[in-house]
Structure 1
Amino acid sequence: MTRLFLRIEDFTTGLALRASIGFLIIAAALALFQVITRFVFDAPSTWSEVITRSAMIWSVFLGVAVAFRHGSMISVDVIMNNVPRRLGLTLFMVANAASLIFFAILFWQGWLMTERVMKQKLAALEISIAWVYSALPVGSVFIMIAVIGAMIRGAQGGWPTPVDGPEIQA
């Protein structure tokens, strides 16, 4: 069962990575477009800044799942590596459990916020702002899957560090 979950986590985190990169490309391209239209043609685009900001929000919330997967979040590595292995693993699990609780709350609150703003439109566009707010619950789901995956891998022999990446060295 855990191998199946880890395969699902690997797939979802890969999907989050690709989507995050896609949103980052969109944001960079539209920011360049905005600069060119504003300063070269003296006719600023009214819609590109809004989409750039929205794409950045999505990129960050999806990218956090990848950061958890690779052990790149702020962590207590110094403490964990200088205490007995069992205590280090306990600290790792407690920190990840706290992250799970946080992102579960963020999921719920993000869901409620998304429902509340459904009738509002993005400035300069006729698109619901809920599409932007939905980055919170959607990103939280990807993050919680990645955190649970990190906890499973941690229980199987180690915890991820930024140097190790997804492969856990025991």
Structure 2
Amino acid sequence: MKRLNQITKAFVWLARAGAGLAFLVLICAVLIQVVGRTMGNSPVWTEELTRYALLYLVAFGGGLALRTGDMVNVDVFCESLPGRGPWMLRMVSALMTFGLTVYLLAPAWKYVSIGRMQTSPALGLRMTYVHFTVWLLLAVLALAALIRIVGMITGSDDGMPEKKPEEA
């Protein structure tokens, strides 16, 4: 259980760091864009970089959203069921999320590999780095779902979304 807690903390830290870095890049690109437009000449590459940073923000943030319950939930129905019904539905949901994301990892990697033959128009960046966000999103979601599954099986987690500090 202690090991799972360490893995969970590392996962959350890495996902937050990745999302934070992507958000920082997004902010800087938009700032350069706005200042450039004010001066009359905005660099073309800022549009592209903004889109790519947003993709990485979503890729890293997907697992965090799953942990906090910020993804679409049907709690009103699920939590009104009697007995172990809500727990079972949360487990089925985590298992299905894990299964689907793992199933899609190989096709997503094929999509990533296609990017070797392409470059972005403004930045000249190999599209592999952009397409990688699809695979990363699936991997982050799979890991978040697996952590929830293991936590529910070991009893260290009830599968309920993590409470945010302001809600505690």
Shorter-normalised TM-score: what interval? 0.7 to 0.9
Match of 1:97 among 88, 95, 102: 95
24-33 or 76-85, which deviates more: 76-85
Query: Partner of 1:126: helix, strand, or coil?
Result: coil
Q: Given the alignment, which residue of 38, 41, 48 partners 2:39?
A: 41
Q: 1:69, CA displacement in angstroms?
A: 2.0
User: Deviation of residue 137 (structure 1)?
Assistant: 1.4
CA distance in 2, matches of 1:85, 1:54: 45
Which consecutive unaligned segments of at least 5 residues does structure 1 have?
A: none
The root-mean-square deviation of aligned C-alpha atoms, in Å, is 2.1
TM-score relative to the length of structure 2: 0.87
* 1:138 alignment partner in structure 2: 136
Q: State whether structure 2 residue 73 is matched by structure 1 residue 75.
A: yes
TM-score (norm 1): 0.86
Percent identical among aligned pairs is 21
1:160 and 2:160 correspond: yes
Structure 2 Cα separation of the partners of residues 112 and 6 of structure 1 = 33
Cα distance per residue 1:77-108 (max 9 Å; x no partner):
22222112311111111111121122223322
Deviation at 1:165, TM superposition (A): 4.5
- Give the aligned length: 164
Residue 7 of structure 1 corresponds to 6
